Each structure stands twice: as C-alpha cells, then as structure tokens.
Amino acid sequence: MKLFTEASIGPVKLRNRSIRAAAYEGMAPGHLVSDQLVSYHRSVAAGGIGMTTVAYASTIRSGLSFPNQLWMRKEAIPGLRRLTDAVHAEGAAASVQIGHCGNMASYAVTRSLPLAPSGGINLYGPTFPRTMKQKDIDLVAASFGDAVRIAHESGFDAVEVHAGHGYLVSQFLSPYTNRRTDDYGGSFENRSRFMREVMDQVMHAAGQDMGIVVKMNLRDGFRGGMEIEESIGVARMLERCGAHALVLSGGFVSRAPMYVMRGRMPFRVMSHGVKNPVTRMLIRVFGGLLVRPEPFSEAYFLEDALKVRAAVKIPLVFVGGLNSLESIEAVLEQGFDFTAFARPLVNDPAFISKLKSGEITRSACTTANYCVAAIYTGSMACYQHLDDLPEKWKQEFSSGPGS
C-alpha cells in the first residue's frame, strides 16, 4: 500500500506518507511545552505516524490568541527539545506549525491591540485590530525567520508556515480582510506580497537541512473571500519561493470555521467550559447563527485539491475527512504525496499502526467535533474517552458524522 512507503519533504525522509495535521492542542500553559503536549505527540509517533506536527506556535507575542498557545522564543527551547527527542525516539519526524493570529489575537493575552492588514471591528472575535504599518509588517515577517531558527535549535525536522484558515498571512491574501490601498493591497500580486516576504525570511533561516511546508487555503469558504483560481496562483507562487510541500486546506476560523473541518460545532460543549456567564449565554444563543454547519464527506477538499495538483509539481499533502484506509489510498493514487489527519489521531493516536496491521480499516471518530469545541476552553480531547461526559451528550455525539 502506498501509505506505508517512504517519502521525503525536502531534506526530510518520512517512514511513511502519514502526517499528524497541525490541529491546535491547547496544551501549552504559559506558552511553553507541557508534559501533556510531549506525551500526546510521543503517543502519535509511537502509533506509527510519519511526521507529527505541533500546533499552533506563534512567532511573536502579538500573534497569540489563547493562554495555552505555544510561543516560539528562547525560553521555549528546552521544552521543545524534550518534545522532539520524544518523537524521534519513536521513529517519527517532528514538525511545528508557525504563524500569527492577526486580527484574532487576544488583548488579554498579548496586552496590545491585534494587528491586521486592515483595521476595524472583527465581529467574529470580537476584536478591534489596528491596521499594520510598514514597521509592523517588517517586524512580523522577520519573526517567522526567528521562529524557524528556534525550531531548528529545538530539533525539529520541519516547520509548517500557516498561510491559511484566516490567520495573518491568509488575512493579507484574502480580499475580505485586506482592504489596503498600498503595495500590500488591491491586486493579487500586492495581497500576496506579505506572504512572499514571510517566505523569504523562512527560506533564509531554514538552511539546507529543514523541510518547509506551507498550509494554504483552497477557498476561504464564503462569498467575498479567496476562491480556487487565486489559490492556484498562491500554490504556484509558493512553489517558486522554494517551499518543499503544501498542505491544501480551506476555511476561515473567524468567519467560516466549519468549512475547515465540516460538520457542526457543539456549542453546548464549548459553553460548558466558559467561566463568564454572559459569554456562556451568548455562545449558546448566538453561536449557531455565527458558525454555520457544513456537510461532512470523506476527502471533502478533493475536487479543489485536484485542480492544484494539475497546476504544480511540488509535493502536496491532502487533508480533510480522511477517516478510512480506502479514502487514504484513493487520494494517494490520484497524485497526492502525503495524507494528513487530526481527528482520527485525537480519537486514537495509534490510528496509523492499526491500519497497517489490519486491526482496523476505518477510524472510530464520528466527527462530532467535541475535540474542536473543547480546545477553546481547555485542551483537546475525544468525547469517546471521557468518563465524566453526560450520557445524553455521548448519545447525541454518536449519532453520526457531523452530528
């Protein structure tokens, strides 16, 4: 089977074509690596993954949106080194996703106004970002290079630059969030300028022995956002920038989050962990109006991803709804080089080794999205493994994909 064959991302050889997708864990209190984070990635590595990706690590303090988010700085190196050593000991490669939250950054965490291509109110925060000046742009772009150097010193084999999902690089690319009239706004060439400057910093810092992966959007997932035609242009541009592989995803976490993962968001679960009673009530009453459900199907990005596959030669990582060996092999046979998973590995870190042994052919994950909701008020967890979850919630979640 193709999944279990070796393959390389730039200078990094993976023992198979599986990657743990960079799904936020919520396991970095004080923005530092915890024992819980090390344990989780060790378990995924022991479970047979080719490369596990740690998420989401801010390149600079202004890019943080949660108190339990990683921040790539010197103080983090000992913990990061402990994590990469644990992953390597289990035979897997280690990657870290680096990015900046832009207009979704939290003032309570950063103690500064969020930065954005264009200022104004972000209703989906809600946050009140300010428009980035040239000195802000230069500082943040340079921070991506600094983060790569921290990753290298910490023993990571690769970094994943987050240029999708409505984070800062994606905010510059999208006409929805970029209303600038200078050299960084307007035309596609201008809107992609910040991304190119980030990639210049990343490639210079990476040297010759690190793999450089970029996560990008196929579509933003709503009217007025980026569509597939411009996304193909982004893929071609990243190929010219020297990236070693692209992760093809989609959606805006602040505008169309369920386009990223499909199904619906269980707001009762999300609100359960919110301490502020007013916020808890708002989530329960208005959450469903702001975050619309999206139908789930296996390999849900395939149609658009194939258009990118036809346009570039760079290795491509397929992510999105791969819950079975059949769907994994199907996308690999259609020209994709790697496959990435998040929810199946939350459900069972040994997902890959069990596929290889024949113990299972499909993940037990029901895509109920409890794990997604839980990270906003705690840390990643699968409802199927929680003894203290109310039985009525378990019954509701187990009703099928996207329940």
Q: From the candidates 40, 167, 259, 370, which is the catalytic residue?
A: 167
Q: Which two tokens stand for residue 48?
A: 């047979």
Active site residue 167: yes
Number of residues in the chain: 403
Closest CA to 153 of 233, 241, 73: 73
Which CA distances in Å does 197 have to 17, 192, 243? 30, 9, 13
Nearest one of 42, 7, 28 to 345, comparing CA atoms:
42
Q: DSSP for 92-128?
A: -EEEEEEE--GGG--HHHHSSPPEESS-S-BTTTTB-
Q: SS3 of 159, please?
A: strand
Helical residues (DSSP H) of 154-266, grouped into ranges: 168-173, 188-191, 193-206, 228-241, 257-261
Instruction: Measure the CA–CA gap between 298 and 281, rounded to whole angstroms.
Output: 33
Q: Which residues are catalytic?
A: 167
